[in-house]
């Protein structure tokens, strides 16, 4: 099954400084048919105005991945971690027993992010945070693992979940494949571009929910940047 969820049909809210679209039920947006996709609980498409952001707030027992599409986001938490994550790079926060953090756009332009929450397989662990650059040139034409809880020994950022976050940048006409193990699901969103997956067309910021398909074959109609989560 491959189901396209068009961007213009997503839930959302506009707070002035924040223009948010929700692929799954979140905050005041509730759709009982879109509560999660396997262990994937949240995929928010956020546009954060210059010199604004999320003030300190708490989380616990959730793996929270931030993929920066444009601009940069600056993180600070009560553990003393602080970092600036730029476009194309990724930060991961394992909330564990509890963490309080802020996320601000300290840039002079709008910052655009995907924020992805995955339910953990390990509870009660110490909270942690990390970030890593992933140059787009290194994932040209193929999928590269950015964060994972199922690839031991990889260079990916670790998460405490039966999940993997991958990304690929494809030129117009370029093709790539991704394989799902039996019983697993995928959810993917293109940060930019237009493409087909197994012949099904999708555009930038559309959600694509996939299950019961083992080989995903992608063809880019124009230059495309795909972000995919593989979950149990």
Alpha helices in the chain (DSSP H): none
In the chain, the domains with their CATH numbers are 11-132 (2.60.120.10), 144-231 (2.60.120.10)
Which SS3 state, helix, strand or coil, does residue 139 take?
A: helix
pLDDT confidence of residue 134: 82
Q: Is residue 14 annotated as involved in ligand binding? A: no
Euclidean distance between CA atoms 221 and 117, whole angstroms: 29
Q: Is residue 101 annotated as involved in ligand binding? A: yes
CA distances to 34, 145, 153 from 163, in Å: 19, 11, 15
Q: Is the pTM of this model over 0.85?
A: yes
Q: Is residue 103 annotated as involved in ligand binding? A: yes
Radius of gyration (C-alpha) of the chain in whole angstroms: 17
Q: pLDDT by residue (tens digit) across 103-143?
A: 999 999 999 999 999 999 999 999 999 999 887 777 889 99
Q: Is residue 75 annotated as involved in ligand binding? A: no
Euclidean distance between CA atoms 206 and 43, whole angstroms: 11
pLDDT confidence of residue 91: 97
Strands 111-118 and 157-158: unpaired
Q: Which residues in the chain come in under a pLDDT of 50?
A: none
Q: Which of 212, 63, 224 is nearest to 146 (CA)?
A: 63
Residue whose entry in the numeric block shows the structure tokens 């003393």: 80
pLDDT confidence of residue 153: 83
């Amino acid at each position: 099954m491959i189901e396209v969820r068009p961007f213009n049909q997503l839930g959302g809210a506009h707070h002035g400084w924040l223009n948010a679209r929700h692929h799954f039920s979140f905050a005041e947006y509730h759709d009982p048919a879109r509560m999660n996709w396997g262990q994937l609980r949240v995929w928010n498409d956020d546009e954060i105005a210059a010199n604004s952001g999320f003030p300190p707030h708490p989380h616990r027992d959730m793996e929270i991945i931030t993929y920066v599409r444009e601009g940069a986001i600056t993180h600070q938490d009560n553990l003393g971690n602080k970092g600036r994550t730029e476009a194309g790079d990724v930060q991961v926060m394992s909330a564990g027993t509890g963490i309080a953090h802020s996320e601000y756009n300290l840039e002079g332009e709008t910052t655009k992010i995907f924020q992805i929450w995955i339910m953990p397989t390990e509870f009660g662990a110490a909270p942690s945070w990390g970030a890593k650059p992933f140059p787009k040139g290194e994932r040209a034409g193929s999928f590269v693992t950015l964060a994972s809880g199922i690839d031991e020994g990889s260079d990916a950022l670790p998460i405490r979940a039966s999940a993997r976050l991958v990304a690929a940048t494809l030129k117009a006409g370029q093709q790539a494949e991704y394989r799902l193990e039996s019983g697993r699901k995928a959810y993917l969103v293109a940060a930019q571009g237009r493409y087909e997956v197994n012949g099904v067309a999708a555009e930038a910021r559309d959600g694509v929910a996939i299950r019961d398909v083992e080989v995903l074959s992608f063809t880019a109609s124009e230059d495309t940047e795909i972000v995919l989560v593989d979950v149990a």
